[in-house]
Amino acid sequence: MPSRPTRYLTLAAPAAAELEVKRSRFVCDVAPASSEEEARAFVEHVRSGSRDARHHCTAYVLGADGATQRGNDDGEPPGTAGAPMLDVLRGRGLTDVVAVVTRWFGGTLLGTGGLIRAYGDAVSLALDSARLVVRKLREGVLVDLDHAAGPRVEHALRGLADVDVTEVDYLPRGVRLHVLAAPGAVAEVERVVAALTSGGGRISPGRPSWVDAPRGRA
């Protein structure tokens, strides 16, 4: 069974670019999207602002493993728009991303090869102007302590690499720390808690989350 992804590349924010080929105008809008509902909503948003255009061709890749992939030619010859758009998204290693290329026909037929190049180039131009982020998996860890140990353990955990204390609950019988840790750092969280509480701290699973970092950071 394949292991689940622990990081992937996506967009930090929407971006756009324009290309003209033989008087046909191609405008590509790209945006992050974490679900098919978000992707469809973005497509409709773009479409609603340019209803005079002949085509609104789309492609999106979703999921940490990029398992959900859709392309739509929106009236262009089959395989000339959605497929090359998807090829660019996949080739850039992106997921949780949607692309819409809006075309205004310029009066000259571009042919199959011309359309494939134009739609792919429009997406490439938009991605060239986009800011990318690496989305990293963080495991959720709940740490329950007595009041005396709470500040000491919290301070130690905040000093660990790839570990974030996101919330502290002060409860009648103790303190609960909400921690997000890289998968490889969970064992270190457990070790620190055990060492500082002589085994009295209690560890339980929390809710996993994805966090963003600028591209190029670990």
Domains of the chain by range and CATH?
7-130 (3.30.230.30), 135-214 (3.30.70.240)
CB atoms within 10 A of CB 199: 9
Q: What percent of the chain has pLDDT over 90?
A: 91
The pTM of the full predicted model, rounded to 2 decimals, is 0.84
CA nearest to 60, candidates 19, 94, 91: 94
CA nearest to 56, candidates 87, 92, 34, 25: 25
Spatial distance between the Cα atoms of 120 and 95, rounded to a whole number of angstroms: 17
pLDDT in tens, 142-181: 999 999 999 999 999 999 999 999 999 999 999 999 999 9
Tokens 């840790």 sit on residue? 181
Burial of 10 (0-12, 13-18, 19+ CB in 10 A): buried
Three-state DSSP state, 134: strand
The yes-or-no verdict on residue 217 having pLDDT over 50 is no
